[in-house]
Structure 1
Amino acid sequence: MNTRTSILPLAAGIALAVSCSVHASDDATLSALVDQRLANDRTGACMAVAVLDKGAVSRAFRCAKAGDAARIGADSAFEIGSVSKTMTSTLLAELIVQGKGSLDDPLSTWLPEGTVVPEFEGQPILLRHVVTHTSGLPALPSRMGTPNPGNPYAALTPDDLLASLGDATLSRAPGTQFEYSNFASMVLSLAVARRAGVDFETLLQQRLFEPLGMKGAHVGLARRPEGVRAAGGHTANGLPTPAWTFAGDLAGVGGVRATLDDMVRYVQANLDPSATPLAEAIELAQTPLSEQPPMAMNWMLLPVAGRTVLVHEGGTGGFSSFVSVDREARRGVVILSDTSWSAVGNLGSLGLHLVDASFPLGSPRTVEAPPQALLDGLVGEYQLQGAMKISLRQRDGTLFAQAEGQPEFALGYDSEGDFFPGVVDALLKPQRKADGSHVFTWMQGGGALPATRLDGPGAAAPRPALDPAALAGYAGEYTLMPGFALTVRARDGGLFAQATGQGEFALDAAGQDRFEAAAYGIEITFKRGADGEVVSLDLHQGGGVLSGPRKQRSRRAPLSKVPADARCSGRIATMGA
Structure 2
Amino acid sequence: MLLGSLGCNGQPPAPPTIGRGDYASIIGYLKQHIPREMAEHRVPGLSIALVDGQELIWARGFGFADRDRGLQVTENTAFRAGALSQLLTATAVMQLVEQGRLQLDAPLQDSLREFYVRSRFHQDQNAADQAVTLRRLLSHQAGLPTEYLRDRYTTQALGELPGKVSGIWLNNCPGTQTAYSNLGYALLGAAIERSSGLDFERQLQKSLLRPLGMSQSSFLGTSLAQPYRARGYADGLGSADEPLRDLSATGLWSSPRDLSRFVRMLFAQGHYKDRQVLSPASIKEMVRAQNNGNPLDFDCQVGLGWYLSPCGEEWVRPGIRTWQHSAVGSDFQARISVLPEQQLAVIVMSNSGSGEAVARPLVTKVLRMLLQAHGAPGSQKRDSAQPQERVTARRRVPEAADRQHLAGFYATTWGVLRIRDQGQRLFGELAGKRFELLRDEQGWLRAQKKFLGVWLQDLGDLGQVQLDLLNVQGRRVFTARRHGQLLAMGERVDPVPLPDNWLSTVGTYQALNEDAANTAISDISIALEDGFLMIRSLQQGRVTTDYILAPMDNAHAVIAGQGPGLGDTVRRQINGISVLGYSFKRSYTHQYLRF
User: For this structure pair, what is the TM-score category when the shorter chain's length is used for normalisation?
Assistant: 0.5 to 0.7
Shift of 1:97: 2.2
* Partners of 1:24 and 1:176 in 2: CA distance: 44
Give the direction of change, closer, same or farther, for the CA distance of 1:244–1:341 in structure 2 (3 Å limit): farther
SS in 2 for 1:507: strand
Using the size of structure 1 for normalisation, the TM-score is: 0.59
Alignment partner, residue 255 of structure 2: 259
Map of 1:305-320 to 2, 5 A cutoff?
305=317, 306-320=319-333
Alignment partner, residue 172 of structure 1: 172
Q: Does 1:94 align with 2:99?
A: no
Give the direction of change, closer, same or farther, for the CA distance of 1:102–1:65 in structure 2 (3 Å limit): closer
Q: Does 1:238 align with 2:236?
A: yes
Aligned partner letter, 2:347? V
Alignment partner, residue 218 of structure 1: 218
* Higher-RCO chain (CA-CA 8 Å, sequence separation at least 6): 1
Give the direction of change, closer, same or farther, for the CA distance of 1:197–1:572 in structure 2 (3 Å limit): farther
Map of 1:175-186 to 2, 5 A cutoff?
175-186=175-186
Alignment partner, residue 329 of structure 1: 342
Alignment partner, residue 428 of structure 2: 516
Shift of 1:546: 5.8
Aligned partner letter, 2:99? Q
* Partners of 2:370 and 2:57 in 1: CA distance: 21
Structure 1: gaps (5+ residues):
1-18, 145-151, 360-468, 476-492, 498-502, 529-534, 552-557
Alignment partner, residue 352 of structure 1: 364
Alignment partner, residue 30 of structure 2: 30
Aligned partner letter, 1:237? D
Alignment partner, residue 209 of structure 2: 209
Shift of 1:296: 1.0
Structure 2: gaps (5+ residues):
1-17, 310-314, 372-400, 449-457, 478-485, 491-563, 566-595
Q: Does 1:74 align with 2:75?
A: yes
Q: Does 1:296 align with 2:303?
A: yes
Alignment partner, residue 539 of structure 1: 446
* Partners of 1:474 and 1:21 in 2: CA distance: 52
Does structure 2 retain, via aligned residues, the 8 Å contact 1:220–1:255? Answer: yes
Which whole-Å deviations, capped at 9, do the CAs of 1:73-116 have from their partners, x for residues lacking one?
A: 134222211111110000111122223333322222221x2322
Give the direction of change, closer, same or farther, for the CA distance of 1:283–1:215 in structure 2 (3 Å limit): farther
Using the size of structure 2 for normalisation, the TM-score is: 0.57
What count of residue pairs does the alignment treat as equivalent?
399
User: For the aligned residues, what is the CA RMSD?
Assistant: 4.5
Map of 1:421-500 to 2, 5 A cutoff?
495=410
- Residue 132 of structure 1 is aligned with which of 139, 142, 154? 139
Give the direction of change, closer, same or farther, for the CA distance of 1:550–1:286 in structure 2 (3 Å limit): closer
Does structure 1 retain, via aligned residues, the 8 Å contact 2:427–2:435? Answer: yes
Shift of 1:522: 7.8
* Partners of 1:230 and 1:66 in 2: CA distance: 10
Alignment partner, residue 462 of structure 1: none
* Partners of 2:102 and 2:403 in 1: CA distance: 44
Alignment partner, residue 187 of structure 1: 187
* Partners of 1:240 and 1:223 in 2: CA distance: 11
Give the direction of change, closer, same or farther, for the CA distance of 1:571–1:515 in structure 2 (3 Å limit): same
* Partners of 1:345 and 1:192 in 2: CA distance: 35
**Percent identity over paired residues:** 20
Shift of 1:22: 9.9
* Partners of 2:191 and 2:88 in 1: CA distance: 14
SS in 2 for 1:353: helix
* Partners of 2:410 and 2:192 in 1: CA distance: 38
Give the direction of change, closer, same or farther, for the CA distance of 1:188–1:351 in structure 2 (3 Å limit): same
Give the direction of change, closer, same or farther, for the CA distance of 1:207–1:223 in structure 2 (3 Å limit): farther
Alignment partner, residue 592 of structure 2: none
Which whole-Å deviations, capped at 9, do the CAs of 1:284-321 have from their partners, x for residues lacking one?
A: 32232123421111211135421111111124453221
Which whole-Å deviations, capped at 9, do the CAs of 1:226-273 have from their partners, x for residues lacking one?
A: xx63333232432112334234xx311111112332122112112322
Alignment partner, residue 488 of structure 1: none
Alignment partner, residue 117 of structure 1: 117
SS in 1 for 2:190: helix
Does structure 1 retain, via aligned residues, the 8 Å contact 2:47–2:60? Answer: yes
